[in-house]
Amino acid sequence: MERERPTSPSSVAPITASTVTAPSLRPCRCSPAEEDAEFQQMLSWYSNDVNNARAQGYQAGNDPGYSDPGLGFHKVGNCADWAQVSWAALVTRSWQCWHVQKIRARQHWTLFGFHHFVRLQSCSGRVVFFDPWPTGKPDWWEAKDFPFADGVGWAHTPVRTHQAGDAPRDPGLD
């Protein structure tokens, strides 16, 4: 999904209480150019893995006949499956300018309304979400545009965190 990217710190969405989910993220320092270059690498890996998953038959939320009754049996491609694809694309590498979090969001006032996706936070505080589930494409959103944002009907819980500077890891089934 083509988006105009912020290029200067003044155009980065400010961090608010609703966009910060893990105050324990380690501080890091990168220039805006380093952050953007690393983000472009992340987008490339993410896009490649999403496109490969789609080619392997992953369903998307807007596919005709999409079904996920939430009972553990479904054709591969629910939001948790897509979050794993997104997560695995990123944590097998070390990033110096970005923290990566696998998020399980719960819709407020419900017991069963959940959604899974990946949240990125740069050293400067820019927040971006990767969520290919709705379309099966490598879609991404700046925090202010994300439809499942924390604090607007959804509560985010980080399930796993890969911090800036962490060594590459095997994503396994986490």
- Tens-digit pLDDT profile for residues 80-115: 999 999 999 999 999 999 999 999 999 887 777 889
The mean pLDDT of 3-30, rounded to a whole number, is: 49
Tokens read off for 59: 């369903």
Tokens read off for 172: 């396994």
Residue 51, CA distances (Å) to 10, 39, 104, 171 in order = 33, 18, 23, 18
Query: Domain containing 153 — which CATH number?
Result: 3.30.460
Query: What is the total count of domains within the chain?
Result: 1
Residue 28 scores a pLDDT above 50: yes
More confident residue, 4 or 152: 152
Q: Is 8 contained in some domain?
A: no
Residue 26 scores a pLDDT above 80: yes
Range of the domain at 95: 30-61+73-162
Residue 14 confidence (pLDDT): 33
Residue 66, CA distances (Å) to 69, 79, 136, 138 in order = 10, 12, 12, 18
What is the pLDDT confidence band of residue 76, given thresholds at 50, 70 and 90? confident
Residue 118 and residue 101 in contact, taking contact as beta carbons nearer than 8 Å: yes
Q: What is the pLDDT of residues 113-169, one digit of tens each?
A: 889 999 999 999 999 999 999 999 999 999 999 999 888 789 999 999 999 999 999
Residue 130 and residue 142 in contact, taking contact as beta carbons nearer than 8 Å: no
More confident residue, 174 or 76: 76
Q: Is 50 contained in some domain?
A: yes
Residue 70 confidence (pLDDT): 67
Residue 9 scores a pLDDT above 50: no
Q: Is 129 contained in some domain?
A: yes
**DSSP-assigned letters across all residues of 69-108:** -SSS---S-SHHHHHHHHHHHHHTS--SSEEEEEEEEEET
Residue 28 and residue 123 in contact, taking contact as beta carbons nearer than 8 Å: yes
Q: Is 7 contained in some domain?
A: no
The 3-state DSSP class for residue 61 equals coil
Residue 131 and residue 117 in contact, taking contact as beta carbons nearer than 8 Å: yes
**Please, what is the Cα angle at 131 between 76 and 14, to 5 degrees?**
160
Q: Is 170 contained in some domain?
A: no
